[in-house]
């Protein structure tokens, strides 16, 4: 496969996953703010949504602007509309190796986003937009798994998808840590902390399963442990790393991983994480999460160097 095509598919995977995370975080945080324990937190939640999206805004934005920036802005490169546009653009040049079902699912999502009524979205349809979008993305993912040969092209899309997911999970946790710290500074009740943890888990569709796993009201430690280490849960960092290693092994055609290759790095990171305890992590929580995010960065650079430049 051509390096350029591989690069396009890898990024298509990343954009598809990114759009979904943005939509869910937007939905869960916005609606939970409506019945938050303290009503002044509205602006605070909007700010959290922007930070999660990687959008640094110095002057505060009003609600409508925030929602537009994250969802339908042409200026913000991480807005949902831009990520979907990029995903479509990246797959458009490779229609000959993708199934028409997958292409149609992507195209449908693209038309849904680009034709969405902006005024309705701002005022009444936030739920409809984010909900439909997550469902459309989920349909794209279904087509990826059920209509493609599980070959190099598929492995590239999935690799991008899992790398993005690992990154977004870490990102969400870090954003919530900031939120919680901010609340502590303003002297808010501990009830607020558990409330923030619940939105974190809901934003990653992990709330129900974490409850089932621990069979009790979750502590912060539980939530972290679940999102980082629970390999049975597909939206944990450990599960993503396991998948990443699998995809890289497929791309390597099963030959053993060379030292310092991307597969080697992914495997090493996976093992480190697998035998890490939550106590060790909590000793330097922020530092550890940032370090994990750096690991993902380095891994991406390796993938780029190995697969996309020659």
Partner 1 sequence: MNVEDSPLFSHYSSVASLFDEYLDPSAEVRDHYIMLSEHFANLTTEDLNRLNEEAKIVFFNEGVTFAVYSDKNVGTEKIFPFDLMPRIISRKEWDVIEKGALQRTRAINLFLKDIYNERNILKDGVVPHELVFSSKNLTRHMDGIVPPGEVYTHISGIDLIRHSDGDYYVLEDNVRCPSGASYVLANRNTLKKVLPKLFDQCQVQLVNDYPEQLLTMLQTVAPENVDDPNCVVLTPGIYNSAYFEHSFLAQHMGVDLVEGRDLFVENDFVYMKTIHGPKKVDVIYRRIDDDFLDPMVFRPDSILGTPGLINAYKAGNVTLVNAPGTGVADDKAIYTYMPEIIRYYLNEEPILKNVTTYRCEKDDDFEYVLANIDKLVIKPVDESGGYGIQIGNTLSPAEIEEVKKMISEDRRKYIAQPIMSLSVHPTFIEETGNLEPRHIDLRIFTLLGRDFEHVVPGGLTRVALRRGNLVVNSSQGGGSKDSWVLA
Residue 94 has phi, psi (to 5 degrees) of -125, 25
Site for partner 1 in 288-307 (CB under 8 A): 306-307
Q: Where does 35-58 have alpha helices with state H?
A: 42-52
Residue for token pair 């000959």: 96
According to the binding rule CB under 8 A, does residue 258 interact with partner 1?
Answer: no
According to the binding rule CB under 8 A, does residue 185 interact with partner 1?
Answer: no
Give Cβ neighbours of residue 198 (< 8 Å, ≥ 6 apart): 32, 207, 218
CB 214: neighbour CB atoms within 10 A? 14
Site for partner 1 in 216-255 (CB under 8 A): 251
Tokens in use for 10? 């890898």
According to the binding rule CB under 8 A, does residue 75 interact with partner 1?
Answer: no
Whose CA is closest to 241, among 171, 135, 129, 159?
159
Give Cβ neighbours of residue 5 (< 8 Å, ≥ 6 apart): 93, 94, 97, 153
d(CA 172, CA 54): 11
Shorter beta-carbon distance to partner 1: residue 39 or 255: 255
Given 4, 108, 123, 274, the residue binding partner 1 (CB under 8 A): 4
Shorter beta-carbon distance to partner 1: residue 101 or 231: 101
In angstroms, give the least distance from the CB of 252 to partner 1.
9
CA-based R_g, the chain, Å: 19
The binding track of 132-171 with respect to partner 1, each residue x by CB under 8 A or -, is --------------------x---x---------------
According to the binding rule CB under 8 A, does residue 95 interact with partner 1?
Answer: yes
| Of 38-46, 85-93, 210-218, 219-227: span binding partner 1 (CB under 8 A) | 85-93
| Of 16-24, 65-73, 87-95, 225-233: span binding partner 1 (CB under 8 A) | 87-95
Given the rule CB under 8 A, which residues bind partner 1? 1-4, 6, 74, 89, 92-93, 95-96, 100, 152, 156, 251, 306-310
């Amino acid at each position: 496969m051509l390096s350029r095509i591989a690069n396009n598919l890898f990024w298509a995977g990343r954009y598809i996953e990114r759009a979904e995370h943005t939509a869910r975080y937007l939905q869960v945080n916005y609606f939970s703010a409506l019945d938050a324990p303290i009503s002044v937190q509205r602006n605070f939640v909007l700010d959290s949504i922007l930070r999660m999206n990687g959008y640094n805004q110095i002057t505060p934005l009003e609600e409508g602007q925030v929602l537009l920036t994250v969802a339908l802005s042409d200026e913000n490169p991480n807005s949902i509309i831009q990520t979907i546009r990029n995903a479509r653009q990246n797959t458009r040049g490779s229609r000959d190796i993708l199934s028409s079902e997958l292409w149609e699912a992507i195209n449908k999502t693209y038309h849904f986003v680009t034709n969405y009524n902006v005024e309705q979205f701002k005022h009444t349809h936030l739920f409809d937009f984010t909900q439909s979008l997550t469902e459309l993305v989920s349909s794209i993912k279904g087509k990826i798994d059920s209509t493609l040969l599980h070959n190099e092209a598929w492995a590239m899309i999935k690799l991008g998808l899992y790398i993005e997911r690992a990154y977004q999970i870490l990102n969400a946790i870090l954003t919530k840590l900031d939120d919680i710290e901010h609340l502590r500074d303003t002297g808010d009740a501990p009830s607020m902390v558990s409330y923030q943890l619940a939105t974190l888990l809901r934003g990653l569709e992990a709330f129900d399963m974490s409850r089932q796993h621990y069979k009790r009201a979750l502590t912060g430690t539980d939530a972290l442990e679940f999102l980082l280490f629970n390999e049975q849960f597909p939206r944990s960092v450990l599960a993503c790393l396991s998948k990443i290693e699998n995809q890289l092994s497929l791309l390597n055609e099963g030959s053993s991983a060379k030292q310092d290759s991307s597969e080697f790095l992914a495997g090493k990171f996976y093992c480190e994480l697998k035998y890490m305890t939550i106590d060790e992590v909590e000793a330097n929580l922020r530092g550890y999460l940032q370090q994990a995010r750096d690991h993902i960065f380095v891994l991406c650079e390796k993938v780029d160097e190995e697969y996309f430049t020659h």
